[in-house]
């Protein structure tokens, strides 16, 4: 029996989350779109083989884990070691300076801090969930969050007036 999945639901519910996770790894829109496409293909294959997810929490965690794994694989690939980006451009262009300043500051964080920060604050995952997804201890997650906030505060203090929020 062939199972059809609701691609509109997938895009509506998870595309922002996938994009935020990927932007923690890559600055190139092309890389982000390539990985997002791979996530959707893996999702389609999973649903076709196993049927719909019974638990929305499991589905969300599965998508996060697949996205992180694909990003890690891409970063480690030999192809990436020899490519030089043409230019570094910010991914987001907001009319509101506070969002743009915050986004630039977040993008300046090291990958390991940026991912934990985004999963905790933007995806509202618990420390225990982040620990399982990233396969690190809960104390490492807490340490990375603390360091990310401290680094963001320094970045924002040096370039803006919005550091009071962090």
pLDDT for 47: 84
Report pLDDT digits (tens) over 42-57.
888 888 888 888 887 8
Architecture of domain 97-161 in CATH? Orthogonal Bundle (1.10)
Q: Where are the domains of the chain?
A: 7-82, 97-161
Selected residue with higher pLDDT from 49 and 145: 145
Residue 5 confidence (pLDDT) above 60: no
**In terms of CATH architecture, what is 7-82?**
Orthogonal Bundle (1.10)
**Mean pLDDT for the chain overall:** 77
- Reported as a single tens digit per residue, the pLDDT across 72-117 is 888 777 455 544 443 444 433 333 356 667 777 888 889 899 999 9
Determine what percent of the chain is predicted with pLDDT higher than 90.
Answer: 16
Show Cβ contacts of residue 66 under 8 Å, excluding neighbours closer than 6 positions: 39, 42, 43
Q: Examine domains 7-82 and 97-161 and report if their fold is the same.
A: no
Nearest Cα neighbor of 62 from 71, 74, 53 is: 53
Three-class DSSP category at 162: coil
Mean pLDDT value across residues 152-164: 64
């Amino acid at each position: 029996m062939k199972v059809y999945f609701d691609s509109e639901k997938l895009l509506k519910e998870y595309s922002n989350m996938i994009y935020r996770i990927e932007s923690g790894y890559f600055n190139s829109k092309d890389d982000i779109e390539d990985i997002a496409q791979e996530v959707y293909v893996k999702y389609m294959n999973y649903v076709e083989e196993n049927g719909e997810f019974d638990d929305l929490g499991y589905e969300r965690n599965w998508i996060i884990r697949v996205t992180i794994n694909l990003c890690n694989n891409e970063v480690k690939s030999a192809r990436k070691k020899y490519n030089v980006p043409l230019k570094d451009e910010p991914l987001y262009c907001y009319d509101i300076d506070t969002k743009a300043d915050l986004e630039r500051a977040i993008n300046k964080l090291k990958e390991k801090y940026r991912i934990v920060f985004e999963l905790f604050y933007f995806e509202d995952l618990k420390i225990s969930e982040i620990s399982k997804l990233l396969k690190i201890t809960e104390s490492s997650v807490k340490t990375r969050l603390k360091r990310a906030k401290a680094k963001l505060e320094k970045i924002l203090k040096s370039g803006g007036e919005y550091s009071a929020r962090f």
